[in-house]
Amino acid sequence: MMNVHSILRRPILTEKTTGSIERQNAYVFEVAPESNKIQVKVAVEELFDVKVAKVNVRNRKGKRKRVGKSVGFGKDRKEAVVTLKAGHKIDVY
């Protein structure tokens, strides 16, 4: 069993995710690759003291990188889109 601090790696803050925070009360976190939706929900509720409505998970493949003649790939990562119930909020800034 993983602890809640090892499940959530970091929040992902881009223009697109900031818009989803304002419109849908949905936050995006990079999570451990071996975690599942239930573990992510429990971790967010414990760490931020909020109620989670739903969790969607997506696996992002690493992008193709090129340096000179060498070609490689960036890291794969797993992201969780956490939607909170009305009236709850996380201060990620």
Q: Over its length of 93 residues, how does the chain's per-residue pLDDT go in tens digits? A: 688 889 999 999 999 989 888 899 999 999 999 999 999 999 999 999 999 999 999 999 999 999 999 999 999 999 999 999 999 999 876
Domain count of the fold of the chain: 1
Measured from the Cβ of residue 30, the count of other Cβ atoms closer than 10 Å reads 15
Dump pLDDT digits (tens) for 48-65. Answer: 999 999 999 999 999 999
Q: Is residue 31 part of a domain?
A: yes
Determine the pLDDT at residue 4.
87
Sign for the CA dihedral angle at 39, 83, 80, 59 comes to positive
β-pair type (64-67, 70-73): antiparallel
- Give the pLDDT of residue 53: 96
Answer for the pair 44, 30: CB distance below 8 angstroms, yes or no: no
Tell me if the pTM is above 0.95: no
pLDDT at position 1: 65
Task: Tell whether 93 is covered by a domain.
Answer: no
- Note whether residue 92 is domain-resident: no
Query: What is the residue range of 48's domain?
Result: 4-84
Domain membership of residue 91 (yes or no) is: no
Q: In the prediction, which pLDDT does 91 show?
A: 86
